[in-house]
Amino acid sequence: NAGVTQTPKFRILKIGQSMTLQCTQDMNHNYMYWYRQDPGMGLKLIYYSVGAGITDKGEVPNGYNVSRSTTEDFPLRLELAAPSQTSVYFCASSPQALLATYEQYFGPGTRLTVT
C-alpha cells in the first residue's frame, strides 16, 4: 500500500517560474491537505480539500492554487515562484474528519528552492 506519494522530491525554480507539486493517495480518503514547513518551524496549512471538486484556503494560501478533480489526486500549483516559497511541502490525507478525530497521513515531502 503506497499511502501518500509526492513528486518531485526536490526541485529548484527560478524566480517567476511556475510548477505543480503532485500528490496522490490510494487510501480512498476524502480529506487532503497541503502544508509547508519552513526551517525550524512546524507545519502551516496552505489549502485543504474535503472531497473531489471542493477545496478551501488554509492559513497561508497566497501564491498557491489547488484543484481536486479526483479523490486520489490533489496537485498544488505555484504561479510566479518567489524566494519566500522556498520550503518543504507536505501533502496529507485523512478519512472524513468527524470532529477532527482522524490522524493525517503524510507524504514524504517535496523540498523546493526558489532562487
Partner 1 sequence: AQKVTQAQTEISVVEKEDVTLDCVYETRDTTYYLFWYKQPPSGELVFLIRRNSFDEQNEISGRYSWNFQKSTSSFNFTITASQVVDSAVYFCALSEARVGWGGTSYGKLTFGQGTILTVHP
Shortest Cβ 80–partner 1 spacing (Å): 25
- Contact map string, positions 61 to 100, toward partner 1, x by CB under 8 A: ---------------------------x-x-x-x--xxxx
Phi, psi of 51 (to 5 degrees): 165, 170
Does 33 help bind partner 1 (rule: CB under 8 A)? Answer: yes
Contacting residue, 19, 27, 50, 60, with partner 1 by CB under 8 A: 50
Question: What is the identity of the amino acid at 112?
Answer: L
Q: What is the Cα–Cα distance from 73 to 86, expressed in whole angstroms? A: 23
Question: Which residue, 7, 9, 43, is CA-closest to 25?
Answer: 7
Cell of 42: 512546524
> Which spans of this chain sit near partner 1 (rule: CB under 8 A)?
31, 33, 40-45, 48, 50-51, 54-56, 88, 90, 92, 94, 97-109, 111
